[in-house]
Structure 1
Amino acid sequence: MNLTGGIVLFAVIWFMVFFVVLPIRFQSQEEAGEVVPGTPPSAPADARIGRKAWITTLIAVPLWAVIAAVILSGVITIRDLDWFGRIRD
């Protein structure tokens, strides 16, 4: 894995974790009882995107380190994932 591959792997992991973290402790404006005019009632009352981005980063970095270590160590190779015998020498 080269530098570009590592960056792409981190970005994919980060966004996957972000989409899992995003709905945690979600409260809509309707649930809060204060709907801002011009917004849908299902809009978040307090999104806290910055805090969720930091939480995502704290989770994504160790996940990326483990996955990158497995890839770089060669414990699992692309040939191990060839369940249908499509890769030929």
Structure 2
Amino acid sequence: MVSAIFSGVAIYFVFWWITLFLMLPFGVRSQHEDGEHAPGTDPGAPVRALMLRKVIWTTIISLTLYGIAAWSYYSGLLNVARLSRLMGFSD
């Protein structure tokens, strides 16, 4: 039971981390695009990263994806035997 909980948390963490990396480029304006260049910084550096907004959206999207994956697993749509058959690894 405990290992199932830790496995679920680990899988959710992977969903969250991948979703965060997908969300990072959205809404970012560089100093070059905005016309505000701080001395000593790269022109491609973001003016505002908007990280709190991205973390909130990352959590919402990853919870949705994790919920779909968990539902698929517990309903029997996503299991090792079925995936092996779909990929052509078993007869």
Question: Match of 1:51?
Answer: 53
Structure 1 regions of 5+ residues with no counterpart? none
Q: Deviations over 1:21-62 (max 9, x none)?
A: 111111001111111222111010100111110011111111
2:32 to 9, 30, 33: 30
- Matches of 1:49 and 1:37, distance apart in 2: 23
- Matches of 2:55 and 2:23, distance apart in 1: 9
Structure 2 regions of 5+ residues with no counterpart? none
Question: Match of 2:70?
Answer: 68
Query: Counterpart of 1:60 in structure 2: which amino acid?
Result: S
Question: Match of 1:6?
Answer: 8
Query: Counterpart of 2:41 in structure 1: which amino acid?
Result: T
- Matches of 1:54 and 1:37, distance apart in 2: 31
Q: Percent identity?
A: 34
* Greater relative contact order (Cα < 8 A, sep 6+): 1
Cα RMSD for the two superposed structures: 1.5
Runs of 4+ in 1 over 4 A off after TM superposition: none
Query: Counterpart of 1:81 in structure 2: which amino acid?
Result: L
